[in-house]
């Protein structure tokens, strides 16, 4: 049984079976929480690590993806189709133009950015974007280019979804390199194609794994299957807008938007089916059912789900030294419920703790990254987007 308790800007979730002893322990825990809330002048720091929040950079238009360069500058995508470089002191560069056919509408636009594993030598970057195909059609695509002092050059699209679709919803899309130098691309079901998330002859609702030329990675699960698309790594996803390589295991972890209820965190394994829309913890926005099932054979259960949906975007599994108590914790941006969500897991990947950070910012959180200093950097959505920096409160740091 999962019990969520929301108190004074903090939310705690504890896992428990239904034994009397556990219910008793849970009640004691609840009472302790209430006491903590009333005895603390600043309850939002409990049980959290002490931290402070500052504005690192501002005036960025709808930041979507960001990565730190080896020299410490932060490269940020703007959804409308430019890049910005943020200096180590937080100064924001002029827009760097990106010459791609970007469908900037609704959830579409320029999306994520990844650095080539050999970026320091080759200056190559990868951009995901909603590609405009005309007549209201678009598809998720990935481009590759060279970022130099003169701008972004040699730009070519190396991968795109096999089919385009109408509408402006559910493009994904995060870009993450694995330890073999292969690139994960997350997609969405484009809203109109939710049944296609189960169909391995389409790229709707899939996680893709390609090499730096845009070709299917050797060793992909369906590469010898003449029926399935060979670049598919996993399927049955709705709209994956957060992804991170686990710092301990090297596995891909993701978050995905559910419908009304049912946003999920998933640990991705090659060839597996994550269930959408056959199984879900959510319902349609108008209140009607999507499926009678939350479990079915052959379909993976999420590590965690949120009901109500927080509207997930961005993901970080923390591995720095600035916040020792947060090592291994999962940070997820929340668009709709406007916070940075922190989750702790035990050794069996069961959620033991949940906290909502940055609630007082009242901002939709789009992206989260760990800085070279181990501090946590968060991009807020909107025309006047900011990069917020979360730093340890303790003196001497």
Residues 255-274 that bind Ca ion (CB under 5 A): 274
Residues touching Ca ion, count (CB under 5 A): 2
Q: Closer CB to Ca ion, residue 10 or residue 273?
A: 273
Nearest-approach distance from CB 375 to Ca ion, in angstroms: 32
Q: Closer CB to Ca ion, residue 63 or residue 275?
A: 275
In 3D space, the residue among 126, 342, 361, 323 whose CA is nearest the CA of residue 255 turns out to be 342
**What's the token pair of residue 162?**
């096999």
Q: Closer CB to Ca ion, residue 65 or residue 258?
A: 258
Q: Closer CB to Ca ion, residue 77 or residue 234?
A: 234
Which residue in this structure is represented by tokens 């896992």?
15
Nearest-approach distance from CB 268 to Ca ion, in angstroms: 11
**CA 146 from centroid of its chain's CA atoms:** 25
The sheet carrying 206-210 orders its strands as 175-177, 183-186, 206-210, 232-235
Residue among 170, 203, 237, 257 flagged as catalytic: 170
With b for 16 or more beta-carbon neighbours within 10 A and e for fewer, the 41-70 pattern comes to eebbeeebbebebeebbeebbbbbbbbbbe
Instruction: Supply angle C-alpha 271, 226, 256, rounded to 5.
Output: 30
- Kindly report the number of other CB atoms within 10 A of residue 72's CB atom: 12
Stretch of residues binding Ca ion (CB under 5 A), selected from 56-64, 95-103, 226-234, 275-283: 275-283
Q: Closer CB to Ca ion, residue 56 or residue 274?
A: 274
In sequence order, what are the residues at sequence separation of 6 or more whose Cβ sits closer than 8 angstroms to the Cβ of residue 357?
Answer: 44, 48, 51, 339, 340, 341, 342, 390
Nearest-approach distance from CB 349 to Ca ion, in angstroms: 15
Could you say whether residue 305 binds Ca ion (CB under 5 A)? no
Helices (H) and strands (E) in the chain, counts: 2, 27
Nearest-approach distance from CB 274 to Ca ion, in angstroms: 4
- Number of residues in the chain: 397
Q: Closer CB to Ca ion, residue 159 or residue 281?
A: 281
The beta strand positions in 197-301, using DSSP E, are 206-210, 232-235, 240-245, 252-256, 263-268
Of all residues in the shown chain, the one whose CB is closest to Ca ion is: 275
Q: Closer CB to Ca ion, residue 259 or residue 275?
A: 275
Nearest-approach distance from CB 204 to Ca ion, in angstroms: 15
CA 360 to CA 339: how far, in whole Å?
8
**Between β-strands 110-115 and 124-134, what pairing exists: parallel, antiparallel or unpaired?**
antiparallel
170 has catalytic annotation:
yes
**What's the token pair of residue 395?**
């003196």
Alpha-carbon radius of gyration of the chain: 21
Which of 216, 275, 277, 385 contacts Ca ion by CB under 5 A?
Answer: 275
Nearest-approach distance from CB 279 to Ca ion, in angstroms: 6
Nearest-approach distance from CB 197 to Ca ion, in angstroms: 9
Strand partners, 76: 66, 84
Contact residues: Ca ion, CB under 5 A = 274-275
Residues known to be catalytic: 170
């Amino acid at each position: 049984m999962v019990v969520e308790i929301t108190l004074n800007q903090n939310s705690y979730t504890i896992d428990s079976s239904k034994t009397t002893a556990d219910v008793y322990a849970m009640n004691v825990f609840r009472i302790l929480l209430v006491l903590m809330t009333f005895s603390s002048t600043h309850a939002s720091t409990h049980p959290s690590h002490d931290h402070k929040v500052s504005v690192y950079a501002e005036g960025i238009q709808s930041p979507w993806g960001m990565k730190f360069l080896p020299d410490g500058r932060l490269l940020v995508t703007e959804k409308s189709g430019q890049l910005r470089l943020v200096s180590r002191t937080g100064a924001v560069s002029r827009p760097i133009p990106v010459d791609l056919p970007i469908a900037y509408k609704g959830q579409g636009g320029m999306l994520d950015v990844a650095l080539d594993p050999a970026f320091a030598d080759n200056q190559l970057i990868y951009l995901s974007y909603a590609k405009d195909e005309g007549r209201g059609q678009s598809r998720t695509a990935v481009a590759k280019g060279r970022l130099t002092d003169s701008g972004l050059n040699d730009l070519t699209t190396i991968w795109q979804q096999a089919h385009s679709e109408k509408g402006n919803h559910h493009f994904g899309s995060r870009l993450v390199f694995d330890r073999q130098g292969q690139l994960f691309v997350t997609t969405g079901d484009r809203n109109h194609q939710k049944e296609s998330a189960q169909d391995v002859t389409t790229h709707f609702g899939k996680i893709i794994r390609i090499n730096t030329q845009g070709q299917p990675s050797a060793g992909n699960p369906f590469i010898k299957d003449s029926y399935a698309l060979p670049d598919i790594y996993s399927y049955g996803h709705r709209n994956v807008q957060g992804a991170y390589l686990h710092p301990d295991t090297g596995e891909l972890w993701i978050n995905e938007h559910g419908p009304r209820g049912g946003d999920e965190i998933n640990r991705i394994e090659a060839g597996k089916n994550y269930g959408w829309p056959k199984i879900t913890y959510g319902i349609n926005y108008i209140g009607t059912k999507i499926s009678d099932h939350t479990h079915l054979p052959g379909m993976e259960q999420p590590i965690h789900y949120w009901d109500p949906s927080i509207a997930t975007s961005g993901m970080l599994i923390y591995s720095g030294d600035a916040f020792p108590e947060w090592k291994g914790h999962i940070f997820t941006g929340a668009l709709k419920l406007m916070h940075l969500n922190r989750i702790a897991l035990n050794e069996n990947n069961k959620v033991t703790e949940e906290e909502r950070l940055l609630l007082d910012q009242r901002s939709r959180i789009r992206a989260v990254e760990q800085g070279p200093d181990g501090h946590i950097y968060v991009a807020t959505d909107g025309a006047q987007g900011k990069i917020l920096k979360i730093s340890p409160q303790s003196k001497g740091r």
